[in-house]
Amino acid sequence: MSVLTKATTHILDWLFPRKCPGCGELSDRAGRHWCWSCFRKIETFPQHGGCERCGQRTEGNITHTFVCGACLNHPPHFDRARAAADFSGNLREMTLAFKYQRSTWMCDDLTDLLEGAAHAHFQPAAIDLVIPVPLHKLRQRARSYNQSTHLAEALAQRIGRPCDTRSLARTRDTPQQARLSAPRRRTNIAHAFHALRPERVAQRHILLIDDVMTTGATLDDCARALKHAGARTVWALTLARRQS
């Protein structure tokens, strides 16, 4: 942090004290809202265990390489998908507020989690492009806010990799995934995404960013479009994973 940024943070802290959304106390983390105690309560997923492909956690202690039934039945187009933590508790509240109440002040706190997960589960230096899961242009216009773009841009800056918000588009507006079953999600989202600039993604190692992963159908369809355009690797990282 530069001297100027530090000074600005101190002035902003004095003007607008940062209250922790978890416990309501003043935050003791510089420039952040979550206090250390609440931040540590978010149980991030360990590096090992769970499905090698989609990251789905399993009961018990798995030490060998394992691929879950869902990935065996429908092999996803992404090479690996991981989430920072479970979609529960404070993280659930923060993720929903960030998405629907445009609480951009949470971006740094949430990016801390993404950055930790990017280092734990991927090799940031190998990433050529960070790409957010896009909204359909009509929805983007109506909401004027895509939470995944904010997260992708912030993460890209932290890990020093370029963020590309123009090469992948959602060309079909689909009903909200949230209430659909896993098979319905797959048909609902099928071919909803399209790589607009194939020359930008061809031969590249791409990290896709979204806020929440449930069945992985959205990430899978984004990866399909990117792989179709020639992407070499598609990794996917989300803040949280909701149990489907």
Window contacting Zn ion (CB under 5 A); options: 49-57, 58-66, 79-87, 163-171: 49-57
Q: How far is the CB of 4 from Zn ion (least distance, A)?
A: 28
Please report whether residue 23 would count as binding Zn ion according to CB under 5 A: yes
Reported as type and span, the H/E element at residue 132 is strand 129-132
Window contacting Zn ion (CB under 5 A); options: 30-38, 137-145, 170-178, 199-207: 30-38
| Measured CA angle at 109 (ends 104, 112), to 5 deg | 130
Exactly one of 18, 33, 42, 51 binds Zn ion (CB under 5 A); which one? 51
Query: What are the Cα distances from residue 93, in Å, to 37, 51, 105, 211?
Result: 17, 26, 14, 12
Window contacting Zn ion (CB under 5 A); options: 10-18, 45-53, 106-114, 188-196: 45-53
1: three-class secondary structure by DSSP: coil
Site string for Zn ion, 69-98 (x = CB under 5 A): --x---------------------------
Q: Are strands 205-213 and 233-241 parallel, antiparallel or unpaired?
A: parallel
Exactly one of 20, 209, 226, 237 binds Zn ion (CB under 5 A); which one? 20
26: three-class secondary structure by DSSP: strand
Exactly one of 32, 35, 150, 205 binds Zn ion (CB under 5 A); which one? 35
Q: Of residues 117-146, which lie at the interface with Zn ion (CB under 5 A)?
A: none
DSSP string, 69-134: HHHHHS--SSSEEEEEEES-HHHHHHHHHHHHS--GGGHHHHHHHHHHHHHHHS-GGG-SEEEEPP
User: What are the strands of the beta sheet with 205-213, ordered from one edge?
Assistant: 80-86, 233-241, 205-213, 129-132
Please report whether residue 168 would count as binding Zn ion according to CB under 5 A: no
Q: Of residues 55-74, which lie at the interface with Zn ion (CB under 5 A)?
A: 56, 68, 71
State phi, psi for 44 to the nearest 5 degrees: -75, 150
Residue 110 or 163 with smaller CB distance to Zn ion: 110
Size of the chain in residues? 244
Residue with tokens 């989430």: 83
Q: How far is the CB of 200 from Zn ion (least distance, A)?
A: 29
Exactly one of 18, 45, 54, 83 binds Zn ion (CB under 5 A); which one? 54
Please report whether residue 106 would count as binding Zn ion according to CB under 5 A: no
Binding residues vs Zn ion (CB under 5 A): 20, 22-23, 35, 38, 51, 53-54, 56, 68, 71
